[in-house]
A and B are shown apart, each in its own frame.
Chain A
Amino acid sequence: MNGPPPGIHWIATAVVVVLTLFITVLGFVAAHWRRGDLDLLHEWGLAGGRFGTVVTWFLLGGDLYTAYTFIAVPALIFSAGAIGFFAVPYTIVIYPLVFLFMPRLWSVSRAHGYITPADFVRGRYGSRPLALAVAIAGILATLPYIALQLVGIEVVIAALGITGSGLLGDLPLIIAFALLAAYTYSSGLRAPAMIALVKDALIFIAVIAAVAIIPARLGGYAKVFAAVPPQQLLLTPQQYGAYATLVLGSALALFLYPHSITGVLSSSGRKVIKRNAAFLPAYSLLLGLIALLGYMAVAAGIKPDPVYGAQWAVPGLFNAMFPQWFAGIAFAAIAIGALVPAAIMSIATANLFTRNIYREYLRPNATPRQEARMAKAASLVVKFGALAFVLALENARQEAIDFQLLGGVWILQTFPAVIFGLYTRWFHGKALLAGWVVGMGLGTAMAASQHFTAIYPLHIGGFSMGGYSAFYALIANFAVTVLVTLVLDAFGVSRGADDTVPADYVAVDPGSEVKAA
């Protein structure tokens, strides 16, 4: 392995520092972009909902294809082989779902001034407990996701040769996050949107160079795949169920995450969302190529790192294959690729807390200005909470991964309330809540019983079928929801109020701007 010598890689580090400072300036400048009153929550937290097709494409691309994706997907391929490729078919089935569901959510949200999925559930079912359940699931699922972005930055810092214990070793991460917190606080969603342009440009450059140069240096793709143990290149028939349910379950979950919905709701129209459903797959292609970097790392003889394990695959490969200045660009792309989603996630979590906990339970008469102030403060708390979590816990990396897995299980349990709610009011709010409780409990138990791996071996009769625990939990959730709805109907229980009307879901122009509501 012919990487740079041990010690700090000064050239690569300089490139990363310069690019990070550049995007920090952008982050602050973004406050003046498509100017709005940033003391209003919908301006700070949704950028006024005025983003067109191109900006939304960059924003969602930066939001969904995170630094952690770029580290973790190749790492899984590197260590486990074919099963890790599920991330690709997962992104194949996401976009037809986005095309169908998200324009409806956008229309109804715009018509009623909703800025979170829990706002919608509150209006649709008139149920405070159900809205609270959706908000809590969203917040709990997003927090470990933010922590994982930090882990992604940590890996990059280590790849620059910057190691050290105690405060000094943690300092680069603390500085990066403090800068992030500052410009998110001042510019809101405009900051990650503007930075996403830079991040995506860097990622495309790094990945296209990687898949052009690295296989050539390793003697072609045939040689790369020949270096991988043959049994890792394909799935075993026992893995079919696991693969398919991972694909479907992850796809159904993705656009329930608050940060995805924030990205969707900040767009300026249904057309923008539908066009993006057609053009976002460009990132999926990129993701597929990034996934193959895992095998290239195998072929290049990269060994798992004593600290970072298989997550070292991509940083190790870049260090071995690229000149320092280019490795610096690639690492900057990954680090900025962590800051963009971390910003959007903290904004989305802040929106949820402010709208669905603070205004709903703590200060019902909050003015729009108080809302915005609360959200800004909440976004700081969330970010520094994640930072403290990562720095304080001995085993934070593993804990974050475990919680992230649980987060996927939890967020998928909001599917019936949010997505079915876009189409029908047949389900009772109470029934959806009962289903949610069962799904959360069962999914958590299933994941915990497997020591926080995603696949649960379900035994039915004499058969054992391995599948994604979140998906199994969703089936149980749905069954309970249907059953309780039927029982409540049998007792003649009323379905309660519904603020929305069918026309709200298909309205093309429900008002040109987000309402302050």
Chain B
Amino acid sequence: MDARPHRDTDPDQLQPKRRRHRRRWLLLLLIVPFVGALWVPSYNSLTPTLWGIPFFYWYQLLWVILGAGITILAYVGDPS
């Protein structure tokens, strides 16, 4: 894509295109929470604990926050 000839010659046309490209990439991030939540063996462990809470529990709660952060990024990339 970067090697396309019109790129240097027509910067006005390029700007919106490049922004759209970046948006699509942000939407791909939405796959990440699925990996975190569905890869069960990766978190089925008691340790390390956090404030006395076993890993299994705080790790999944952490993913709630990470998932929300990722959705915010996706929104920034594609708000409408």
Residues from chain A with Cβ under 8 Å of B37 in the complex = 89, 92-93, 247
Q: Which of A75-98 contact B (CB under 8 A)?
A: 82, 85, 88-89, 91-93, 95-96
Query: Which residue from chain B places its CB closest to the CB of A269 in the assembled complex?
Result: B80
Q: Which of A221, A271, A277, A289 contacts B71 (CB 8 A)?
A: A277
Tell whether, in the assembled complex, residue A221 and residue B60 are in contact, meaning their CB atoms are under 8 Å apart: no
Tell whether, in the assembled complex, residue A85 and residue B57 are in contact, meaning their CB atoms are under 8 Å apart: yes
Query: Which residue from chain B places its CB closest to the CB of A97 in the assembled complex?
Result: B30
Tell whether, in the assembled complex, residue B61 and residue A237 are in contact, meaning their CB atoms are under 8 Å apart: no
Q: In the complex, how many residues of chain B place their beta carbon closer than 8 angstroms to a beta carbon of chain A?
A: 35
Q: Which of B38-67 contact A (CB under 8 A)?
A: 38, 40-41, 44-46, 49, 51-54, 56-57, 60-61, 63-65, 67
- A58 beta carbon closer than 8 Å to chain B: no
Query: Which residue from chain B places its CB closest to the CB of A215 in the assembled complex?
Result: B52
What DSSP secondary structure best describes chain B's contact surface? helix
A281-308 near B? 1/0 per residue, CB < 8 Å: 1101100110010000000000000000
- A372 beta carbon closer than 8 Å to chain B: no
- A124 beta carbon closer than 8 Å to chain B: no
Tell whether, in the assembled complex, residue A96 and residue B70 are in contact, meaning their CB atoms are under 8 Å apart: yes
Q: Which residues of B contact A (CB under 8 A)?
A: 27, 30-31, 33-34, 36-38, 40-41, 44-46, 49, 51-54, 56-57, 60-61, 63-65, 67-68, 70-72, 74-75, 78-80
- A213 beta carbon closer than 8 Å to chain B: no
User: Can you list 30 A-B contacts (CB < 8 A)?
Assistant: A82-B44, A92-B36, A92-B64, A92-B67, A93-B33, A93-B67, A95-B68, A96-B34, A96-B71, A99-B74, A99-B75, A220-B52, A221-B51, A223-B52, A234-B44, A234-B56, A235-B56, A240-B41, A243-B40, A244-B38, A248-B38, A274-B79, A275-B75, A277-B75, A278-B71, A281-B64, A281-B71, A288-B61, A289-B61, A292-B57
Residues from chain B with Cβ under 8 Å of A244 in the complex = 38, 40
How many Å lie between the Cα of A240 and that of B39 in the bound state? 9
Residues from chain B with Cβ under 8 Å of A223 in the complex = 52
Tell whether, in the assembled complex, residue A278 and residue B30 are in contact, meaning their CB atoms are under 8 Å apart: no
B72 CB to closest chain A CB (Å) equals 5
Query: Which residue from chain A places its CB closest to the CB of B30 in the assembled complex?
Result: A96
How many Å lie between the Cα of A96 and that of B64 in the bound state? 11
Tell whether, in the assembled complex, residue A85 and residue B71 are in contact, meaning their CB atoms are under 8 Å apart: no
Query: Which residue from chain B places its CB closest to the CB of A284 in the assembled complex?
Result: B64
A396 CB to closest chain B CB (Å) equals 33
Q: Which of B44, B49, B74, B79 contacts A271 (CB 8 A)?
A: B79
